C-alpha cells in the first residue's frame, strides 16, 4: 500500500492518520493515531509516512498474536539440536576434524570449546564475554586451562556483528520451519534456545531447563527420522540488522554459573554411504528441447514465432555438439563446449535458415559457406545472441528438471553481452521532410507494373507497399502488425478504426500490443476502407494477400521489406524509423507518455496505468494523432485497383509453389511438343 494513502491535508499541513493494531488500540483506548508531519510539501510528507508505515508493520508483527508459543519453542529447540548434532557427529567421524580456529588438535577438544562458547552466548546473549565466574565454572568442569584462550577466541568470532546477523538469519529460517512468525521479538526470544541447543549438542549432556524437559526433547529428536534439510517453503524474513558490539556494564547482575562435566562418548558406528541412484533417461538436446517447446505451447507462455526460434537454436546446438564436439548427451556438456558454440555463433552467417538446405547441411559445410561471406554478413548481432542464450538457459533448466545431473554453474549467461549507451542514440530519427520523399515514389505517382513498383509508369496498385508506409507513419505500427491485418480487423464505424490483434497470420509481440486505433484521416482519404471492401467482395479475408505464400513460413514483413528495398536503399532509412518518428512527434507535441504507450502498444509503468485505467478512447486518439505531420498531402487519390492475380485469387507468382507450378507447366509443354514433332 502506498504511504500516501495514510496522508491527509489539514489546511496547508500534512498529517499521518492510521488505524492502530488491535493490541495497541485496546491498551491506548483509541482506534486511530493522528500525527502532524509539520510539513507543507508532499514529497517530505510521503517520505515520513513511509517510515511510519514501516514502524507500524513491525509493531503488527511484534503483537502478542504472533508471539512464538511454548510448543513452537520446543519444536525450535528440537530442530536446532538435531541440526547441530549432525554437525558434531560428522566432526567426530573425521569429516570436520581440521580446526577452524587454530589451537585445537582433535574434534573432542573443539566440541568442548564450542560447547562452552555457545553456553556463554545462551546465558549472556550476543555480547557474551568470558568472565571470572565462567573461568571458575570451566575449571570445575575439568576443562584444561590451555583451552581458555581458545574459548575467548572462538567466542569473539561468533560475537562479531556480521556473524550475529548470520546466526539471527538462521534462527529466522528455523522459526519459519516450525510455523512461528520470524519477527524481531521471536528471534530475540529464540536466540538463547538456539545457542543452548548448539551447546548441548556439543556437550551431549543436557540438564533440565525451567521451561521444558530438555532431556526428553533430545531423546525424541534422536528417534526422529525425518530429514533436517530445508524444505524450501516460502516465508518472509524481516531484515536482520547486524548489531554493533555490545558493551556490558561491570555492575550488571550476573547469572549463576553451573559446573558441567565432559563425559567421553563412544564414537558412533560408521554408517555405510548410500548407493547413488543411477541417472536414466534421454538427455539429448533434441529430447529436452521437445519437452521445453511442448510445455511453452501448453502453458501459452510463448507464441509460434518464439517456439520456432527455440526449435531453431536448439537444433543448431544439437548438431554442433554432435558433429564438432562429439557430445550427444547433455550430461556430458562442459564449459568448453559452450565457449565453442559462442565462437560458432559469432562467425555464423546472418542468412542462416533462409535456405531450406541449411537444415540438412553439416556444420562443416555451413562453416565453409560462411567463410566465403563478407564480414558484414557474418556474426549474429548482440541482441540476437542474447536472445538465443536466454532460450538455451531455459533448455539447461528443463534438463535439470528432467533429472540430468548438470551443474548450476554451467550456464550461457556468461556469454550474454550487456549493451552500453542510451537506446535513443542507437538509431537517429529523420526529419519529416525525409518521410515526404516516400510518397513521391512511383508506387504513389504511377509505376510500370505490380512487379516494378519503382519504375515510372501509369499504374497505381493498392497493396501493402501502398498502405504500409501510411499505417507506419500515422499509427506507428510495427511491420508485422500491419502486414498481418485481416479484413475483419478494419471497422467502418462512425469513427473508423483498426483492431490490432492476434490472428491466423501472425501473433503480436506481447499482450499490450493488442489495441484499437482510430484511423487517421489520410488513410481514409486515400481509400483504405474502400480497398478493404473491394477485397471482401471477392471473398478475400487478408488485408494484404500478396504478401502470403503457401510454401513459406517467413514473416510477412520480410516480403514487404523485399518489395520496398529498392526504394529504402535510395531513401536511406528503414521502415522501423517511422515508428520512432511517430512517438517522437507525439512527444514533441506534449502528449503524455501513458497515452503514447497506448497508441504504440507499450505497457504502462505501474498499477495506476495498467490495472486501474482503460486504453484511451477513439475520439481522444483522433485529437492526439492530429499532431503527426501530414507528409502525404501531395498524394492524389486513385480508384481502387487490385493486383490482377490477387483479384483472380491466385497464389503469389513469386512463391516457391507458383515457381514449381510454372516449371512443371513448361516441362509438360516441352514434352508435348516433342511428342508432336514427327521423326525424320
Read off the pLDDT of residues 323-340 as tens digits, 9 standing for 90 and up: 998 998 998 899 899 999
**Alpha-carbon 18 to chain mean position:** 36
Give domain status of residue 348, yes or no.
yes
In this structure, are 441 and 507 located in the same domain?
yes
* 505 vs 485: CA distance, rounded Å: 8
In this structure, are 520 and 605 located in the same domain?
yes
In this structure, are 513 and 583 located in the same domain?
yes
> Which stretch of DSSP H or E encloses residue 306?
helix 304-324
In this structure, are 374 and 467 located in the same domain?
no
Read off the pLDDT of residues 498-541 as tens digits, 9 standing for 90 and up: 999 999 888 888 888 999 999 999 999 999 999 999 999 999 99
The predicted pLDDT at position 192 comes to 87
> Would you call 643 helix, strand, or coil by DSSP?
coil
The predicted pLDDT at position 287 comes to 92
Give domain status of residue 279, yes or no.
no
Residue with cell 510454401: 551
**At which of 415, 449, 482 does a domain end?**
415
In this structure, are 595 and 626 located in the same domain?
yes
Neighbours of 335 (CB within 10 A): 12
In this structure, are 397 and 496 located in the same domain?
no
Give domain status of residue 327, yes or no.
yes
Q: What is residue 126's DSSP assignment?
A: T
Give domain status of residue 212, yes or no.
no
pLDDT band at 20 (very low <50, low <70, confident <90, very high): confident
pLDDT reading at 163 higher than 90: no
The predicted pLDDT at position 53 comes to 81
Residues forming a β-bridge with 33: 18
Q: Which residue range forms the structural domain that includes residue 45?
A: 7-62
Give domain status of residue 260, yes or no.
no
pTM above 0.75, yes or no: no
* 595 vs 589: CA distance, rounded Å: 12
In this structure, are 621 and 674 located in the same domain?
no
* 242 vs 165: CA distance, rounded Å: 5
Neighbours of 215 (CB within 10 A): 14
The predicted pLDDT at position 169 comes to 87
The CA-CA-CA angle for residues 214, 217, 221, to 5°, reads 135
The predicted pLDDT at position 647 comes to 93
In this structure, are 527 and 398 located in the same domain?
no
Give domain status of residue 577, yes or no.
yes
Number of domains in the chain: 5
Residue with cell 531513401: 571
Q: Which DSSP string do the residues of 362-416 spell out, in sequence order?
A: -HHHHHHHHHTS-GGGBS--HHHHHHHHHHHHHHHHHHHHTT----TT--SGGG-
Mean pLDDT confidence for 346-369:
87
The predicted pLDDT at position 206 comes to 39
The predicted pLDDT at position 436 comes to 87
- Specify the range with the lowest mean pLDDT, choosing from 262-276, 307-321, 403-417, 629-643: 262-276
Mean pLDDT confidence for 79-93:
76
**Alpha-carbon 391 to chain mean position:** 12
Mean pLDDT confidence for 580-603:
92
In this structure, are 32 and 145 located in the same domain?
no
**At which of 62, 81, 105 does a domain end?**
62
The predicted pLDDT at position 673 comes to 75
**At which of 415, 441, 473 does a domain end?**
415
* 451 vs 565: CA distance, rounded Å: 13
In this structure, are 450 and 599 located in the same domain?
yes
For the chain, percent of residues with pLDDT exceeding 90: 31
Residues in the chain: 680
Q: What is residue 572's DSSP assignment?
A: T
Q: Which three cell numbers stand for residue 105?
A: 588438535
In this structure, are 506 and 366 located in the same domain?
no
In this structure, are 374 and 448 located in the same domain?
no
> Would you call 349 helix, strand, or coil by DSSP?
strand
Give domain status of residue 547, yes or no.
yes
* 567 vs 444: CA distance, rounded Å: 12
For the chain, percent of residues with pLDDT exceeding 70: 82
SS (H, E, C) 135-190: HHHHHHCCCCHHHHHHHHHHHHHHCCHHHHHHHHHHHHHHHHHCCCCCCHHHHHHH
Q: Which three cell numbers stand for residue 370?
A: 560462411
* 224 vs 222: CA distance, rounded Å: 6
Give domain status of residue 291, yes or no.
yes
As a whole number of Å, the end-to-end CA separation of the chain is 98
* 529 vs 419: CA distance, rounded Å: 43
Q: What is the CATH number of the domain that holds 561?
A: 1.10.443
pLDDT reading at 610 higher than 70: yes
| pLDDT, the chain, mean | 81
**What Å distances lie between residue 277 and 91, 182, 274, 405, CA to CA?**
26, 37, 9, 11
Q: Which three cell numbers stand for residue 168?
A: 539471527
Amino acid at each position: 500500500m502506498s504511504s500516501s494513502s495514510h496522508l491527509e491535508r489539514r489546511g496547508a499541513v500534512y498529517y499521518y492518520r492510521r488505524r492502530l493494531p488491535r493490541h495497541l488500540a485496546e491498551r491506548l483506548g483509541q482506534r486511530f493515531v493522528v500525527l502532524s508531519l509539520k510539513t507543507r510539501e508532499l514529497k517530505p510528507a510521503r517520505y515520513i509516512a513511509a517510515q511510519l508505515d514501516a514502524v507500524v508493520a513491525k509493531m503488527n508483527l511484534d503483537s502478542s498474536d504472533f508471539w512464538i508459543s511454548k510448543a513452537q519453542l520446543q519444536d525450535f529447540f528440537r530442530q536446532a539440536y538435531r541440526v547441530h548434532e549432525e554437525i558434531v557427529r560428522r566432526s567426530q567421524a573425521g569429516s570436520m576434524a581440521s580446526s577452524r580456529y587454530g589451537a585445537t588438535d582433535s574434534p573432542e577438544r573443539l566440541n568442548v570449546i564450542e560447547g562452552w562458547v555457545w553456553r556463554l552466548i545462551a546465558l549472556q546473549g550476543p555480547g557474551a564475554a568470558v568472565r571470572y565466574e565462567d573461568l571458575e565454572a570451566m575449571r570445575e568442569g575439568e576443562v584444561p586451562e590451555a583451552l581458555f584462550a581458545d574459548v575467548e577466541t572462538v567466542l569473539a568470532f561468533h560475537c562479531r556483528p556480521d556473524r550475529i546477523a548470520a546466526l539471527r538469519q538462521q534462527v529466522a529460517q528455523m522459526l519459519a520451519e516450525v510455523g512461528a512468525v520470524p519477527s524481531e521479538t521471536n528471534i530475540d526470544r529464540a536466540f538463547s534456545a538456539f545457542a543452548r541447543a548448539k551447546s548441548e549438542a556439543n556437550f551431549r549432556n543436557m540438564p533440565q531447563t525451567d521451561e521444558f524437559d530438555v532431556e526428553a526433547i533430545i531423546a525424541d529428536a534422536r528417534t526422529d527420522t525425518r530429514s533436517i534439510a530445508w524444505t524450501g517453503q516460502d516465508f518472509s524474513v524481516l531484515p536482520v540488522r547486524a548489531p554493533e558490539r555490545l558493551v556490558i556494564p561491570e555492575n550488571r547482575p550476573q547469572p549463576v554459573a553451573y559446573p558441567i562435566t565432559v563425559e567421553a562418548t563412544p564414537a558412533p558406528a560408521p554408517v555405510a554411504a548410500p548407493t547413488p541412484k543411477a541417472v536414466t533417461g534421454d538427455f539429448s538436446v533434441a529430447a529436452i528441447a521437445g519437452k521445453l517447446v511442448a510445455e511453452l505451447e501448453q502453458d501459452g507462455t510463448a507464441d509460434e514465432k518464439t517456439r520456432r526460434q527455440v526449435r531453431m537454436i536448439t537444433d543448431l546446438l544439437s548438431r554442433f555438439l554432435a558433429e564438432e564436439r562429439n557430445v550427444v548427451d547433455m550430461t556430458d556438456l562442459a564449459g568448453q563446449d559452450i565457449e565453442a558454440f559462442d565462437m560458432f555463433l559469432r562467425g555464423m552467417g546472418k542468412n542462416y535458415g533462409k535456405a531450406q538446405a541449411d537444415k540438412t547441411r553439416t556444420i562443416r559445410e555451413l562453416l565453409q559457406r560462411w567463410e566465403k561471406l563478407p564480414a558484414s554478413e557474418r556474426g549474429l548481432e548482440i541482441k540476437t545472441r542474447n536472445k538465443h542464450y536466454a532460450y538455451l538457459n531455459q533448455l539447461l533448466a528443463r534438463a535439470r528438471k528432467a533429472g540430468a545431473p548438470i551443474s548450476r554453474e554451467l550456464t550461457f549467461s556468461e556469454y550474454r553481452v550487456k549493451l552500453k549507451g542510451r537506446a535513443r542514440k542507437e538509431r537517429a530519427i529523420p526529419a519529416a521532410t525525409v518521410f515526404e520523399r516516400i510518397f513521391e515514389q512511383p508506387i504513389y505517382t504511377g509505376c510500370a507494373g505490380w512487379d516494378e513498383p519503382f519504375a515510372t509508369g501509369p499504374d497505381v496498385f493498392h497493396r501493402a507497399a501502398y498502405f504500409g508506409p501510411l499505417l507506419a507513419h500515422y499509427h506507428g505500427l510495427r511491420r508485422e502488425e500491419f502486414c498481418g491485418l485481416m479484413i475483419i480487423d478494419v471497422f467502418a464505424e462512425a469513427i473508423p478504426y483498426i483492431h490490432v490483434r492476434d490472428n491466423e497470420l501472425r501473433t503480436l509481440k506481447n499482450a499490450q500490443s493488442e489495441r484499437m486505433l482510430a484511423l487517421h484521416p489520410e488513410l481514409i482519404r486515400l481509400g483504405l476502407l474502400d480497398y478493404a471492401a473491394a477485397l471482401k467482395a471477392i471473398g478475400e479475408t487478408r488485408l494484404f494477400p500478396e504478401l502470403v505464400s503457401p510454401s513459406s513460413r517467413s514473416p510477412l514483413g520480410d516480403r514487404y521489406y523485399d518489395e520496398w528495398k529498392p526504394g529504402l536503399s535510395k531513401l536511406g532509412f528503414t521502415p522501423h524509423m517511422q515508428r520512432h518518428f511517430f512517438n517522437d512527434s507525439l512527444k514533441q507535441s506534449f502528449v503524455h507518455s501513458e497515452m503514447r504507450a497506448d497508441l504504440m502498444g507499450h505497457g504502462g509503468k505501474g498499477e495506476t496505468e495498467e490495472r486501474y485505467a482503460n486504453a484511451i478512447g477513439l475520439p481522444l486518439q483522433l485529437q492526439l494523432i492530429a499532431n503527426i505531420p501530414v507528409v502525404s498531402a501531395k498524394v492524389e487519390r486513385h480508384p481502387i485497383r487490385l493486383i490482377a492475380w490477387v483479384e483472380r485469387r491466385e497464389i503469389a507468382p513469386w512463391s516457391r509453389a507458383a515457381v514449381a507450378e510454372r516449371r512443371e507447366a513448361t516441362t509438360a509443354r516441352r514434352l508435348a511438343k516433342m511428342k508432336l514433332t514427327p521423326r525424320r
